[in-house]
Structure 1
């Protein structure tokens, strides 16, 4: 699965800062295509997300590793006004809004989103009328847009992990299943479920396609997989 991943949740005391920094990061990645600024915003958001105490000034934020002067000034602006002028400008720019929306569809990157917007496609409804412009992955991403946007509670991931173990190990008890990503880091909810599946015979020199195809078919039969997004020799993406 592919979803947007935010470095913070609402229980974090610095959630508001993380939210606007994440939004600025997405803008830089999707609209400006500036990976340097994208990384800087994400790094700052991650630093604030990990800080257990509410930040009360840009100067205080500046003391955190990953927060520079420009971002500290944005934090001061937000604390003083409750908003950011840069974000206000972004929200008032129709092209930026459309690109940021379309890149939330799994499989649609910044270049594809820009192409779609140039073709007059600005909303999900527009996209549904132009599915012929989408590849398989993007079509599935649009079909399950609401599902992909939804955060997955930890309890639900635990239930899915149990099903994975039971179903996959029915055919071979030597399979080992490990849930990774934000779940492994102890988060209360996740944007997707990253799963590592290993087997003693699955080596760098072995034929991998049969083993992986077998795992996918098993999970399709039990109803855990409803759509294939991609399937390679060593990894697959499904919904």
Structure 2
């Protein structure tokens, strides 16, 4: 075996110093040495710097004062052979796998040395690693709200969001699919070897996962989270009616905050004006209790103008979420055609009662006979729809089953607001009402099952359903219909279960569609 090459020390070191000049040594009894073999010079340098910042003594050169030798992908025999080649060696120095080092970094102190950390046990530990296996499509997997790999899935989701805000949809989908795979795993990932053979895990995602498993965090994720551009995009797209293209244009004009936007003289459309005015409320999470109160009001409006009509709460709340960024309702009537003209009547009723701060209604533009089965990649449906900002009385919260929970959720939500949002209107917290984003969608009963499936989500689950339909079944699926391209006919369904059956998929409950 070739001995470890000795590199010149940087200007921050003197002799064989184990810390940078400004780093405090917190654990003088522990002296670490990271073996470069199979680890690589750049990775070793990064991990050494991380250790010193945490207060550990990390030696650049091996010597008799070293108490812990840290290795990666080396067997005990290989390391002992290397030690025998060194002029100075300390008997009894711990030979440890990199897992001990990364766990110590996360803990901020040396953790207890267990059998699994000892290098001579590495091969046995690797043989005992539990390998994961999941289906290729998210629509084949059951994914609950809680998952065992939250640090990994949140990191990948943040990178996906950043890509989407930058209009790099392909990269965004790649990160979303990788996160969805990790969400479906039955236990925490502890080793990269467990991920071998899993679908949708590209090289970029694997690098991020590896970084977090070994170092407790990802440099790329932390850099993105703290970047001025990402935070500016988050703030500006948080305005109702503002998409990533508009936000990007404003950023190029030097606008990074709400106050800068107000002072810029930019011309805003009616939706954006309302979004800016009610920014703080709209960017505060909506609780399930609040959604239920809004549901009671909308149901009263719907039944008042069309008795027998049905209303269903969809989106994340139907999947079991306790909070959301908006509230979505799907409305229909058991008799085909009775829903025509319903939306304008419902909106008029809500406006007459003072419930709407803003609304924009779009007509139903979908005609099955004319449009046929082909759907755009985005699968944007064309139902009659009302985008609105709802005026919800705060005192309604006290009438829910658990008012204390609602109050605690509201306080928590206000505390967790984006610190970069430049809180605009403190007076809003003193009003007896709050603004909430509400979408109303009217569907004919013949399309209701498809609309319910499409509006329940999650977004990736729906994308994967359409991908499965096209690639595996030669079908075209949308929120309006399912078309069999081989047989050249539409497949009717009166329930979500029937749609899954048409697609040859096992039915998955809404609460398990959180991909």
Q: One fold, TM greater than 0.5?
A: yes
1:106 Cα deviation after fit:
2.3
* Other-structure match for 1:141: 275
**Higher-strand-fraction structure:** 2
* Other-structure match for 1:56: 190
2:361 aligned to which of 231, 234, 237 = 231
RMSD: 2.8
Q: Residues of 2 paired with 1:130 and 1:43: CA distance?
A: 39
SS of structure 2 residue aligned to 1:226: strand
After superposing the two structures, state which structure 1 stretch, 83-92 or 187-196, moved more. 83-92
* Larger-gyration structure (1/2): 2
2:164 aligned to which of 26, 29, 32 = 29
SS of structure 1 residue aligned to 2:311: strand
* Other-structure match for 1:216: 347
Q: Residues of 2 paired with 1:66 and 1:196: CA distance?
A: 32
* Other-structure match for 1:3: none
SS of structure 2 residue aligned to 1:238: strand
* Other-structure match for 2:85: none
1:172 Cα deviation after fit:
2.2
Question: How high is the TM-score relative to the length of structure 1?
Answer: 0.81
2:153 aligned to which of 18, 32, 35 = 18
Q: Residues of 1 paired with 2:213 and 2:330: CA distance?
A: 42
Higher relative contact order (CA 8 A, sep 6+): 1
**Higher-helix-fraction structure:** 1
After superposing the two structures, state which structure 1 stretch, 110-119 or 156-165, moved more. 156-165
Unaligned runs of 5+ in 1: 1-6
Q: 1:168 to 1:87 in 2, by over 3 A?
A: same
Cα contact 2:237–2:243 (8 A) shared by 1: yes
SS of structure 2 residue aligned to 1:227: strand
Question: How high is the TM-score relative to the length of structure 2?
Answer: 0.40
1:189 Cα deviation after fit:
2.3
After superposing the two structures, state which structure 1 stretch, 112-121 or 22-31, moved more. 22-31
Report Cα offsets for 1:4-54 as digits up to 9, x if no partner. Answer: xxx997x543332222222111211222x2111111112222333344533
SS of structure 1 residue aligned to 2:327: coil
SS of structure 1 residue aligned to 2:356: coil
Unaligned runs of 5+ in 2: 1-142, 364-383, 390-515
SS of structure 2 residue aligned to 1:75: helix
The 5 A counterparts of 1:143-162 are: 143-162=277-296
The 5 A counterparts of 1:118-197 are: 118-130=252-264, 132-197=266-331
Q: Are residues 1:112 and 2:246 paired?
A: yes
Cα contact 2:305–2:342 (8 A) shared by 1: no
Q: 1:191 to 1:15 in 2, by over 3 A?
A: farther
Q: 1:145 to 1:214 in 2, by over 3 A?
A: same
